[in-house]
Chains A and B, each alone.
Chain A
Amino acid sequence: MSEHDDDGLLDAVAALDPVVQSSVPDGSSPTARRLLEEIMSDTLTRSRPAAPPDPDPTPRRWRRLAAAAAAVAVAATATATMWPGATPSASASVSAAIAATLDAADGSARYTLVAEIGPATGPEGGDAALELRAEGVIADGDLSLTSRFGPSAEPEAMSTEELRLVDGDVYLRSTDLGGGWEVAEGRAGPADPLGFFDELGEIATFDEVGSDSIAGEPVTVYRADGARWEETDALSAAFVAFGVALFAGDVAPGDDPPVLELAVDDEGIVRRLDVTGEQGDDRLDLVVEVFDLGADLQVDVPEGAGLS
């Protein structure tokens, strides 16, 4: 089995295959040749058949991607309410840092994202944690995102996907299949991942919980209490905001509210977002670091896009 199967479960399932492929007629069998002849003699129409509701999965995929891309445009959907008992000075510091970060970025920044998916509880019996690593470039509403995903223990088994959102068009390429760039159906609004911070700024109910360092620079860590996220799902919102939902699919909220922390450097700039939560039986850790705020960045339409 070529895919990750350290416990042999897939091999065991493969052994249950109810059909022995070698016993199945191939394309050269008389039945197959008759069918081919019959089909190829049909020259009447190339219109799409009415019977299957959605026989082509590819457009559906692009529709989902376009919808998700649109979600990127509006950034996080998190809506939070003021929480009585907040720490005013910490919340004010966070609000100021978020405002300063957005000003410094002025629509352009780079970010890295690491998401780890692992067991929440219980013995795992050799189950490997999954990992998603992404690098993003935001440039005046355009977005470039390259992600690698796979089992943490097997870097060589990871797959790479790339996305670009340029002037509302979404392009996607999966290096796993060796195919070229393809264009999603529909159009998306401008990407605004940092808008997620802006949404956080409206909460203004952070507490200072400690200090840390990022690339050798000291940072102050602030935490939003989980109680403030009862009406929403910060983890899902963060995934959407930073474009990862485009690759990872739906992110269902867990039973418990996620823990969300922001790290602010000595210059009052938000450097890191850290969200930890649960999704079903899994634990998800999402860490986003932003840098090159306000740099002269550009995202180009990929060469050869849409020609496949």
Chain B
Amino acid sequence: MSDDRGPDVRFAELFDRAYRPLLAYSRRRVDAATADDVVAEVFSIAWRRRDELPVADEVPWLYGVARNVIRNHQRSGRRSERLDARLRLVRDEPEVGPERSSALAEALVRLRPDDREVITLVAWEGLSHGEAAVALGCSTNAVGIRMHRARSSLRALLDEIEAEGARKGSSGGGHEAHGPDGEPRRTERRPR
């Protein structure tokens, strides 16, 4: 597949198109200052490899680079911020109802990182399975299977958390659970 535009023009257009979604992707996973660094690093990599950018999959490809860059930042421990902490700052008025939102956020935190990544790539970044496959470096079918399993796991965790809440609730209100960061988290009782 050929592209008559020069690589520099293609890069500038890609930058305009992808800057915001990539910055949003990064801010969902790390603090704002680190997110700026991540985006700068991603585009620097893309610039150095501008002759090799996959024509049809440029933006999903950038997500894949960002994913690895973030993983490196988190490995090195530089200003990393956990997703669960960010989820606690989630909207004041969630669209799914405060109780279910709380339980779902908790379930999302407990989900295996790989499962969480594939779900959020689709739900937050709005990627199709094919685009998520490019970002994750696997086939579209593999994303479909991963999504199926991730959804099953998320649903099971949600049921478990809601059942915990109902049990605690029946003995007097919400309960405290501990997240992966060891900080106490309060889960509200959800009426059944």
The chain A residues found within 8 Å of chain B, CB to CB, are 1-3, 7, 9-19, 21, 24-28, 31-32, 35-36, 39-40, 42, 45-49, 51-58, 60-61, 64-65, 117, 119, 125, 127, 130, 132, 147, 149-150, 159, 161, 174, 176-180, 246-249, 280-282, 304, 307-308
Q: Which of A7, A16, A119, A178 has the most CB of B within 10 A?
A: A16
Q: Are B139 and A61 in contact (CB under 8 A)?
A: yes
Query: Given contacts A57-B61, A308-B55, is CB(A13)–CB(B20) below 8 Å?
Result: no
Query: Given contacts A28-B16, A130-B148, A281-B152, is CB(A16)–CB(B139) below 8 Å?
Result: no
Q: Are A177 and B57 in contact (CB under 8 A)?
A: yes
User: Of B12, B39, B124, B142, which contacts A17 at CB under 8 A?
Assistant: B124
> Is the CB of B40 closer than 8 A to any CB of chain A?
yes
- Which residues does chain A contribute within 8 Å of B177, judged by CB atoms? none
Given A46-B51, A179-B56: 20 more A-B contacts, CB < 8 Å: A3-B147, A16-B101, A16-B104, A18-B89, A24-B24, A25-B20, A27-B19, A28-B16, A39-B43, A42-B44, A46-B48, A57-B137, A61-B139, A127-B152, A130-B148, A150-B144, A159-B144, A180-B56, A246-B139, A247-B141
Query: Given contacts A55-B65, A174-B133, is CB(A179)–CB(B140) below 8 Å?
Result: no
- Which residues does chain B contribute within 8 Å of A307, judged by CB atoms? 1-2
> Is the CB of B168 closer than 8 A to any CB of chain A?
no
The chain B residues found within 8 Å of chain A, CB to CB, are 1-2, 8, 11-12, 15-21, 23-24, 27-28, 36, 39-41, 43-45, 47-52, 54-57, 61, 64-65, 67-69, 72, 86-87, 89-91, 94-96, 100-101, 104-105, 108, 119-120, 122-124, 126, 128-131, 133-142, 144-149, 151-152, 154-155
User: Of B39, B86, B129, which contacts A35 at CB under 8 A?
Assistant: B39
User: Of B57, B68, B122, B141, which contacts A149 at CB under 8 A?
Assistant: B141
How long is the Cα–Cα vector from A304 to B24 in the complex, in angstroms? 36
